């Protein structure tokens, strides 16, 4: 019994791998291309752990996928690997098309070929779990109902369009070929190991360095916030009990405008690491909004609660405190990410193995 996890050195993927191996002895084969946001230091605690097999490679490499599937014979493929930053997708959409669409296609085809070789219970048990985003649904008005699993797709950025395309591929491979798939669409994650280009870690890192805290436009863009540990528990629930072919929305029941998020982070830092220069909120700066910035996302997570019994364990207050404290306690990790030193981890720890 083995899992194949793609993107397992990224933010959500590494949290899932660590969480899984903390609760199970079922091995994980971890495939990651180690692009800028893939960081093997996230998995440093697993060094020497035979349950974790790391493979440096790309989901677009069909020969590699075929070899890994044949060698390790996983019972499930959990597909986290993705380019995921909206700002980067605006400036360089090509990488998002290549990874999120072409890469997902290649992974689906490799999994389908592997699935066709299985017999009996092994074939019936296989799952392809596709991890996606609420951004595929587009933007909501302030008083609109939250996204349900039947909400029409209306992606507004190159990133969300590429993820929407990957969702459609997964659906099509189920309906056309019968591939046993599961899809989850999550809201904004936050927590440990989050690359400091995203809102919450950027605010923490910049504030500690005395740098401006940039807020796009009026800062009233609303997002639902999901602690990454809760996302991991939801994925475990879907993998264990989810209905093949179904979509499950995963949210934290925490709708908040970006401006309030930044003020909350500043208040926690004032409490936990006060600055001699005064309150951190003094650093807040409003900058020109990004093109096509969606105003509101909101997840209706009642289906996963009703059918699978899952609810988030963290409130935003508890999750954001844990997150700020993690960054305060892991200054070396932050420094390595900012300096690019984390890229040396592969050469230092794996090249000679």
Pick the catalytic residue from 30, 58, 135, 314.
135
Quick one: which of 153, 149, 160 has its CA closest to 137? 153
Active site annotation includes 159: yes
CB atoms within 10 A of CB 195: 18
In the set 30, 32, 83, 134, the catalytic residue is: 134
- Sorted by sequence, the CB contacts under 8 Å of residue 270 that are 6+ apart come out as 279, 280
Cα Rg of the chain, angstroms: 20
Distance, CA of 226 to CA of 299 (rounded, Å): 10
Distance (Å, rounded) from C-alpha 263 to C-alpha 10?
27
35: which 2 tokens?
């692009």
Burial of 116 (0-12, 13-18, 19+ CB in 10 A): exposed
- Angle (CA) 124 129 131, round 5°: 170
Given 30, 32, 137, 159, the catalytic residue: 159
Burial (0-12, 13-18, 19+ Cβ within 10 Å), 314: buried
Q: Select from 62, 90, 61, 77 the least CA-distant residue to 118.
A: 77
- Which residues, in sequence order, are bridge partners of residue 130? 79, 183
Give the burial class of 348: count Cβ atoms within 10 A of its Cβ; 0-12 exposed, 13-18 middle, 19 or more buried: exposed
Burial group, residue 150, by CB count within 10 angstroms (0-12, 13-18, 19+): exposed
Q: Which residues are catalytic?
A: 134-135, 159
């Amino acid at each position: 019994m083995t899992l194949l996890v793609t993107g397992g050195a990224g933010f959500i993927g590494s949290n899932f791998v660590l969480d899984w191996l903390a609760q199970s002895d079922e091995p994980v084969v971890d495939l990651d291309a180690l692009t800028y946001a893939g960081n093997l230091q996230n998995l440093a605690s697993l060094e020497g752990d035979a349950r974790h097999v790391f493979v440096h490679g790309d989901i677009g490499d069909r020969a590699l996928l075929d070899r890994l599937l044949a060698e390790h014979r996983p019972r499930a493929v959990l597909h986290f690997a993705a380019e995921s930053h909206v700002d980067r997708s605006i400036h360089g959409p090509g990488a998002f098309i290549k990874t999120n669409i072409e890469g997902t296609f290649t992974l689906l085809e490799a999994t389908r070929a592997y699935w066709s070789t299985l017999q009996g219970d092994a074939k019936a048990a296989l799952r392809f779990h596709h991890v996606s985003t609420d951004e595929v649904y587009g933007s909501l008005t302030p008083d609109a109902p939250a996204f349900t699993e039947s909400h029409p797709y209306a992606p507004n950025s190159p990133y969300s369009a590429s993820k929407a395309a990957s969702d459609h591929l997964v659906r099509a491979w189920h309906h056309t070929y019968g591939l046993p798939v599961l899809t989850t669409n999550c809201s904004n994650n936050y927590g440990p190991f989050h690359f400091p280009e995203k809102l919450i870690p950027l605010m923490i890192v910049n504030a500690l360095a005395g740098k401006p805290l940039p807020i796009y436009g009026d800062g009233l863009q609303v997002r639902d916030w999901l602690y990454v540990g809760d996302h991991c528990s939801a994925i475990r629930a879907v993998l264990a009990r989810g209905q093949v072919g179904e979509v499950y929305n995963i949210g934290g029941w925490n709708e908040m405008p970006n401006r309030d998020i930044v003020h909350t982070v500043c208040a926690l830092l004032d409490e936990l690491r006060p600055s001699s220069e005064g309150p951190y909120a003094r650093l807040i700066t409003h900058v020109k909004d990004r093109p096509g910035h969606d105003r509101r996302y909101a997840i209706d997570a009642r289906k996963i609660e009703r059918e699978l019994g899952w609810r988030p364990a963290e409130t935003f207050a508890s999750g954001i405190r844990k997150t700020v404290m993690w960054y305060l306690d892991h200054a070396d990790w932050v420094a390595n990410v900012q300096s690019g030193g984390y890229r040396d981890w592969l050469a230092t720890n794996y090249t000679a193995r």
